[in-house]
Chains A and B, each alone.
Chain A
Amino acid sequence: MRVAVLSLSSCLGCQYVLLSMEEYFYTFIGENAIPYAPFLLDQKELPEVDLLLLEGTVRHGDDFRRLREARQKADKLVALGTCACFGGVPGLADLLTEERMMRMRYGEGAVIEGAPQGVKRLLPVDAYVSVDAFLPGCPPPEDLLQGFLKLALSGTLPSRLGATVCSECGVTSPPRTREGLRRLLSSVPEAGKCLLEQGFICMGPLTRDGCNALCPSSYGVPCGGCRGPCDEALLPPFQDLKGETLRRMERATGERKEVLEREIKDTAHSFFRYCLAEPLLRRRRPGGTATLLRRLGGEGRR
C-alpha cells in the first residue's frame, strides 16, 4: 500500500511511536511505499495514497488546508492519537478565547507577517472531514499501533468500539477509608488498590481501554483519560465525565458530591484533560459548548 504520514499541530509523540515499533517498523517500510512523511523524507507535495495517518489538530487555516488536501488525496484517512480523535491536551486551549490567548502572548494588536487565521475553537479532525478510522491514545501504545497497522494494511479498518480502562486494571478494592478527596502532591496511594476508591480522581471507568491500564495498574497513578472517552460516554445517552466520576467518588469516599465538586477547582484539567474539544461531550449540555466551558471555569467561545 501507499502510506503517508502527516502532522498538523501536534507534539509528534504519535510519530515517535511509529519509529519505536522495533522489528515491525522495518516490515512496515519494507512492504509498503511511503511516498510522503515530512518528518522522515523530503517529498514536499502530498501525492495520492491508499492510507494516510494523521496526527494532531487543526490550529489555523494552514492546518485546515493540509487536512482538506489529505482527505482529498487519501483513500483512507486515519485519525492517529488522541489529539486527532478528540482534540487531546491542546484542546484545553478552548478554556480561553483564541483572541485573548493571542493577545496575552503577542500583545494588543500585534502584527505577524504571514500568520494564518487561527481557529476560534479546537475540534477533533472528524469535525472537519470524514475520517475512516480512529486510533486514540496519547500516544497509542506500540502494540496497539502495530496491531492496527497490520489490519489496516491488509485492507480492514479496525472499528472504534471497546471497553474501559477499569476492565483491564489489575487493582483490588481497598478497605473503605473515607478520607475524602486525595491528591498525589500530598498523599501516597496504597499500591495495588483502586485509586478511585482511595479518593483520587481516576478516569478509568470512563476511558477507552487498550493501554493495559499501565498507569493505575503498574504505576499506581490515577488514569488521566489519555485514550479518550469510552464509547458509552460518546453514545447517547451521553455520559457526563465529571458527574459520573464524582458520583463514583461519592460512593467510594463517603464525601458528598457537592463537597467534592467544590474542592476540585480544576475540573477541565481533571475530567476533560484529553477531550475538552470533543463536541459529543458538549452536546448534552443545555446551551451547548458555552455552558459547558463556563461550568468548567473557562471563558467559553461562541
Chain B
Amino acid sequence: MADLVIDPVTRISGNASIRLVRDEGGSPGEARLQAFGYRGFDLFARGSHVDNLVTLVSRICGGDSVFHQVAAARAVEAALGIEVPAAAGLLRELCMWGQLLERHAVSLTVHSLPDLLLPSSDPGLRNIISIHRVDEEVVRRFMALKSLGTLVLREAGGRAVHAVNVLPGGVVRPMGEERRSRLAEKLGEARSLLVETARLIKLLLRRNEEVVESLGEETSPCLALRSEGEMGLLGGRAVLFEEGAGERANLSLEELQASIEERNSPHSHIRVAEIREVGSVRVGPLARVNVYGGYGSELADAELEELKTQWGFPFRRSMLAHAARILEMIHAWEMITRLLRASPGEGSRATASPGGGAGTGAVEAPEGMLVYGLELDAEGTVKTLSITAPLQFNVGALERCLLAGARSAGEGPEGDRRAAVLLETAARSFAPCIPCALH
C-alpha cells in the first residue's frame, strides 16, 4: 500500500513533510518528519570575530532570534570569563520573555488554535484569515497577545526581529524610563485576555479529548534548564526528570554539552540529539512543566493546578503542550511585569580582551533547550561552534506521536482522511521549528 505523504506540512515554522510508511499489511509501520537543506551556520561562523557572531546566528531563526543571540553571547562570555552586569542580564531576560510570549502566541493561536476550534470543518477554513472573515474580533484578541510580546521585544531589544541590543558582555544600552513605563501601561490590559485564552484552551482540549488521547502517551525523560527552582531561561543547571525515577540527572552546562550525542537521521537532514546513557528525551513547554512542577508565579500556578487535576501529572499527552504554552505565556506576562517593576540597575556591558577559550551557552528557547558550544582562538575568532536546537531533541518523541496518531486513525479512505488531519495536528503540538533544526 502506498505511503501517506503530507507535503508541505502547513501552519508550522518552516518547510517539512510527513511520510507515513506502511508495512505489507497496510498498517502504519513508521512515521517520519522530513526536512532538508542544512544551512551550515555552525561551520561558516568559523573564522568570524566574536563581534559578528551574534548577528550571524540570529539569522538562524527569526522567531527564536533573541534566544540564539543570548545563547551565543553566553558561550562567548563563558569562554572569555566575562561577568555580565546584572542590569544587562535583566534586560536580556525581558527580551526573551517578550519573544517567548510572541512565539507561543504564534504557534498556539496562528498555528494550532484553528485545529482545536474547528476540528471537523473544511481545512480551507481552519486558519486565522478565514476566521477573521467571520469573526474579526476573536482574531484580533488572539493576535493582541502576539503583539504584546512583539512590543516587549521591540522596546527592550530595539527591533522585533533580529534585535540589536544583545552583545557579548551585556547589552548595548539600557532601556529608558519612558520605554519602561510605556510597556508597563500596555501590560495591564493583557491580564484578562490571558486568563480568558487559558480558559478557552483548557475547554477546547477537553472538548477534543478524543484527539488528545489518540496521539498516544509519551513517557521519555524530560530535560530542562533550572535556575533557583525556576525556569532557567538564561541557563542554570540541566535537570533530567523521569516519571517514577524523579530527578535522574542534574548537570552543569559543560556536563550537559559533553553528554549530548547527535546522530544522522536516515530520512531527514535534522540530526537527532540524545543524551548519553539516557537516549531520547523531550524538551520544551511540556517537558519544562514536568521538570519544574510549577512556575513560581501566582496566576500561572493557579491555572496549572486545575490542569493537574484534570489530566493527571506529570503530563504525558503531547497535545497538552498547548496548555503548557498558554501557562508559560501567563508566566512570561508575570515575569515581564516583575522585571519592569524592579529597579533597572546599573551598567550595560562589560568589555574583554580577545583571547582563547571554550564555553557553553544554553538557554530555554520557546520550544526547548538550545545549546551552544564554542571554542575561540587567541584573537577572539571562532574556532569551532556547535549548535543543538530543540527539535533535534524532540524529533524522536514527535515521530512516536505521529505514529500513534496514524495507528488510531483507522483504515480505508476514511482512515486516510482522518490520519492526514491527525498527523498535522500531532506535529503542530510540538510547534517544531525547522529553521532552528536545520541551522
Q: Hey, which bits of chain A sit against chain B, CB under 8 A? A: 7-17, 19-20, 22, 25-26, 29-30, 34, 37-44, 59-60, 62-63, 88-90, 92-93, 95-96, 101-102, 104-107, 110-116, 118, 138-139, 141-142, 183-188, 214-215, 218-221, 224, 226, 264-266, 268-270, 273, 297
Q: Is the CB of B165 within 8 A of A11?
A: no
Chain B contacts for A93, CB-based, 8 A? 39-40, 43-44
Q: Would you list the 8 A-B pairs with minimal beta carbon distance, nearest first?
A: A13-B62, A41-B127, A89-B59, A59-B37, A269-B48, A13-B161, A92-B44, A93-B40
Q: Decide if B282 is an interface residue (CB 8 Å cutoff).
A: no
Q: Decide if B354 is an interface residue (CB 8 Å cutoff).
A: yes
Add 19 more A-B contacts to A12-B61, A30-B132, A38-B15 (CB < 8 A): A20-B147, A22-B147, A39-B11, A40-B127, A40-B128, A59-B39, A90-B59, A92-B56, A101-B38, A101-B40, A105-B43, A105-B271, A142-B160, A188-B351, A214-B158, A221-B172, A268-B47, A273-B55, A273-B56
Chain B contacts for A63, CB-based, 8 A? 37
Interface residues on B, range: 35 or more
Q: How far is the CB of A171 from chain B (nearest CB, A)?
A: 14
Q: Decide if B311 is an interface residue (CB 8 Å cutoff).
A: no
Chain B contacts for A60, CB-based, 8 A? 36-37
Chain A contacts for B159, CB-based, 8 A? 141, 214
Q: Decide if B10 is an interface residue (CB 8 Å cutoff).
A: yes
Chain A contacts for B49, CB-based, 8 A? 183, 185, 264-266, 269-270
Q: How far is the CB of A169 from chain B (nearest CB, A)?
A: 14
Chain A contacts for B37, CB-based, 8 A? 9, 59-60, 62-63, 116, 118
Pairs A–B under 8 Å by Cβ, sample size 8: A19-B146, A43-B10, A89-B56, A106-B264, A112-B265, A185-B351, A185-B380, A269-B45
Chain B contacts for A96, CB-based, 8 A? 40, 43-44
Would A266 and B47 be within 8 Å (CB), given that A11-B59, A105-B40, A185-B169 are in contact? yes
Q: How far is the CB of A143 from chain B (nearest CB, A)?
A: 12
With CB as the reference atom, state the residue of chain B lying closest to A17: B161
Question: Quick one: CB contact mask for B154-185 with A, threshold 8 Å, 1 for yes?
Answer: 00001111101101110011000000000000
Bound CA–CA A92/B14 (angstroms): 20
With CB as the reference atom, state the residue of chain B lying closest to A94: B44
Q: Is the CB of A29 within 8 A of B129?
A: yes
With CB as the reference atom, state the residue of chain B lying closest to A201: B51
Q: Is the CB of A16 within 8 A of B63?
A: yes
Bound CA–CA A187/B158 (angstroms): 21
Q: How far is the CB of A196 from chain B (nearest CB, A)?
A: 14
Q: Which of B7, B56, B62 contacts A269 (CB 8 A)?
A: B56
Q: Which of A19, A90, A95, A220 contacts B110 (CB 8 A)?
A: A19
Question: Quick one: CB contact mask for B245-285 with A, threshold 8 Å, 1 for yes?
Answer: 00000000000000000001111110100000000000000
Q: How far is the CB of B113 from chain A (nearest CB, A)?
A: 12
Bound CA–CA A62/B37 (angstroms): 9
Bound CA–CA A270/B162 (angstroms): 17
Q: Is the CB of A185 within 8 A of B11?
A: no
Q: Is the CB of A20 within 8 A of B150?
A: yes
Q: Is the CB of A40 within 8 A of B59?
A: no
Q: Decide if B345 is an interface residue (CB 8 Å cutoff).
A: no
Q: Is the CB of B354 within 8 A of A186?
A: yes
Q: How far is the CB of B21 from chain A (nearest CB, A)?
A: 10
Chain B contacts for A139, CB-based, 8 A? 62, 161-162
Q: Is the CB of B44 within 8 A of A185?
A: no
Q: Which of B39, B50, B132 contacts A29 (CB 8 A)?
A: B132
Q: Is the CB of A266 within 8 A of B52?
A: yes
With CB as the reference atom, state the residue of chain B lying closest to A222: B51
Q: Decide if B196 is an interface residue (CB 8 Å cutoff).
A: no
Bound CA–CA A96/B46 (angstroms): 10
Q: Which of A39, A42, A104, A226 contacts B126 (CB 8 A)?
A: A42
Chain A contacts for B438, CB-based, 8 A? 9
Chain B contacts for A270, CB-based, 8 A? 49, 52
Most chain A CB atoms below 10 A, which of B143, B271, B435:
B435
Bound CA–CA A141/B173 (angstroms): 21
Q: Is the CB of B52 within 8 A of A42?
A: no
Q: Decide if B229 is an interface residue (CB 8 Å cutoff).
A: no
Bound CA–CA A266/B382 (angstroms): 10
With CB as the reference atom, state the residue of chain B lying closest to A9: B37
Most chain B CB atoms below 10 A, which of A12, A26, A105:
A12
Chain A contacts for B167, CB-based, 8 A? 184, 221
With CB as the reference atom, state the residue of chain B lying closest to A41: B127
Bound CA–CA A219/B106 (angstroms): 28
Q: Is the CB of A13 within 8 A of B162?
A: yes
With CB as the reference atom, state the residue of chain A lying closest to B126: A42
With CB as the reference atom, state the residue of chain B lying closest to A22: B147
Chain B contacts for A112, CB-based, 8 A? 36, 264-269
Q: Is the CB of A184 within 8 A of B51?
A: yes
Chain B contacts for A8, CB-based, 8 A? 15
Q: Is the CB of B44 within 8 A of A95?
A: yes
Q: Decide if B34 is an interface residue (CB 8 Å cutoff).
A: yes
Q: Is the CB of B160 within 8 A of A266?
A: no
Q: Decide if B8 is an interface residue (CB 8 Å cutoff).
A: yes
Chain A contacts for B135, CB-based, 8 A? none
Would A297 and B264 be within 8 Å (CB), given that A12-B61, A40-B110, A44-B7 are in contact? no
Q: Decide if B13 is an interface residue (CB 8 Å cutoff).
A: yes
Q: Decide if B353 is an interface residue (CB 8 Å cutoff).
A: yes
Q: Is the CB of B267 within 8 A of A11?
A: no
Q: Decide if B316 is an interface residue (CB 8 Å cutoff).
A: no
Most chain A CB atoms below 10 A, which of B44, B123, B126:
B44
Chain B contacts for A269, CB-based, 8 A? 45, 47-49, 52, 56
Q: How far is the CB of A285 from chain B (nearest CB, A)?
A: 20
Chain B contacts for A38, CB-based, 8 A? 8, 10-11, 15
Most chain A CB atoms below 10 A, which of B8, B15, B34, B140:
B15
Q: Is the CB of A113 within 8 A of B266?
A: yes
Q: Is the CB of A115 within 8 A of B11?
A: no
Q: Decide if B379 is an interface residue (CB 8 Å cutoff).
A: yes
Bound CA–CA A93/B55 (angstroms): 15
Q: Is the CB of B36 within 8 A of A116?
A: yes
Q: Decide if B124 is an interface residue (CB 8 Å cutoff).
A: yes
Bound CA–CA A178/B362 (angstroms): 39
Q: Decide if B65 is an interface residue (CB 8 Å cutoff).
A: yes
Interface residues of B in 14-62 (CB under 8 A from A): 14-15, 19, 34, 36-41, 43-45, 47-52, 55-56, 59-62
Q: Is the CB of A107 within 8 A of B264?
A: yes
Q: Is the CB of A265 within 8 A of B164?
A: no
